[in-house]
Amino acid sequence: MNKQQLTPINVNVYAVQQDPFCLDRLDLNDLKKRSCVIVSNEPIDPVTEGVSIQYIAPLPCSLLRKVCRLIPLVERLLDWMVAFYVAVRLVLAMKRPDAVGLISLGKRSGSIFCLLNSFRVFRGGPVLVYRILLRSYSSRLITRFIGRALRSVTLISVWSRAQIENYHRVFGIPRNQFVFVPYKANHSRTPSEPIPVGNYIFSGGNSERDYKTLFEAVRGLPIPVIVSATKSSAVQGLEIPENVILVGAKEPAFERLMAGSRMVALCLKGDIIRGSGEATILNAMWHGKPIVIADNVSASDYIEDGIDGFMVPAGNTEQMRRQIQELWKDPQLMARMGEAGRRKVASLYTHQQFVFRMQALAMLLFGWEGGPAQISP
């Protein structure tokens, strides 16, 4: 089927749930025939002319924030007030008949909006939420609270298929309310200068990292390892091996360290229900770096084991160590894996492709006939 034949009539949300890449073949000019406004709490660049995006920005209160930083409790209260302000404005914006929400839960305003949206009186047009970074909770009350809020939205976009099963199991959200839309290589957003390759392994990030497993896997190896963690809590209480250099590099220094490595190693916690490390995986591939990863959630959606990286079970120190050594000792294998990963990301996982898919999905959700699309056939 060619691009001209593939219209919103035969590509509904159910089709995207089966194959998220079918979004790439949609023509947004067809979707624009029934105009809608994408309401968002994150700034979004339109991927084509004529797409209307209403960004609900927080209040500009930089001076007040500087004063509040002197009292941490007051600063946190201000953050909640600003988030509530944005959430209320999102509710109001979603009341317009041509609105479709593209709401990030990576921001506090998105979570508050979902809570308000769970009450019918505040509910407006169809809502697509993304950046779902929830953990499991011991409190049944909190778990039910989150489940109620998320069940009120139309569709939930996640970055791994395993996350769908985990959230269905923990929060009781129906499977057909989810859609897997792969994440992106953030470093593909802007071109970067080539970096000379150094003689070290790179690892980094804070969220859900298992540096204990990584440190034990590389301890005593004759291989330098640079680890970038900007939060001290990520490595708190751990004994740093002599061959590990611990830094707190932020972008663009983080990107340069990754691009200058020979390979990337990443260990994630084994008890998480949400995915993590997707950006690190794809950024490594974007730079042509093979990756060895210990993970139980997202890795299998992006890595073909033995082709563009190695996957081991989370927490498996010995297997992680063996795979690192095997790859490090074989420059030709590293080159083949790195090139395979680079080709994959360039064709499927760029920043522009992700932005296009999310906007196309939001417009598709609004519906070809001006109403919410069907989520099941």
Backbone angles phi, psi at 312, to 5 degrees: -135, 160
Residue 325 burial (CB count, 10 A): 15
**Side chain identity at residue 238, one-letter code:** L
Rounded Cα–Cα distance for residues 371 and 145 (Å): 28
Predicted pLDDT at 66: 58
Distance CA 130, CA 274 (A): 12
Q: Cβ distance 263 to 290 under 8 Å?
A: yes
**Residue 151 and residue 217 share a domain:** no
pLDDT in tens, 114-173: 999 999 999 999 999 999 888 777 688 888 888 888 999 999 999 999 999 999 999 999
The tally of domains found in the chain comes to: 2
Q: What is the rounded CA–CA span in Å between residue 226 and residue 218?
A: 11
Q: Are 84 and 204 members of one domain? A: no
> Does residue 259 sit in the same domain as residue 331?
yes
Shared domain for 194 and 338, answered yes or no, is yes
Residues 324, 228 share a domain: yes
Residue 66 in any domain: the answer is: yes
Residue 377 falls within a domain, yes or no?
no
- In the numeric block, the tokens 């299998």 are attached to 300
How far apart (Å, rounded) are the C-alpha atoms in residues 109 and 116? 11
E-assigned strand segments in the chain: 37-40, 52-55, 99-104, 127-130, 155-158, 178-180, 201-204, 225-228, 244-247, 263-267, 291-294, 309-312
The answer to whether residues 161 and 203 belong to one domain is no
Q: Where in the sequence is the domain holding 177, given as residue range(s)? A: 13-184+351-366
Question: Is 376 a domain residue?
Answer: no
d(CA 373, CA 368): 7
Is residue 299 in some structural domain?
yes
User: Do 36 and 165 lie in a common domain?
Assistant: yes
Domain assignment present for residue 2? The answer is no
**243 and 157 in a common domain:** no
Higher pLDDT among residues 232 and 369, named by residue: 232
pLDDT tier, 71 (very low <50, low <70, confident <90, very high otherwise): low
Q: Domain containing 136 — which CATH number? A: 3.40.50.2000
Instruction: Answer yes or no: is 7 within a domain.
Output: no
**Are residues 95 and 172 located together in one domain of the fold?**
yes
> Quick one: 217 and 278 in the same domain?
yes
- Is 105 a residue whose pLDDT tops 70? yes
Do 252 and 175 share a structural domain? no
Domain shared by 177 and 245, yes or no: no
Residue-level length of the chain? 377
- Which pTM value belongs to this model? 0.89
Lowest mean pLDDT among 4-13, 229-238, 355-364: 4-13
Residue 26 lies in a domain: yes
Residue 88 resides in a domain: yes
Peptide bond into 126 cis (omega under 30): no
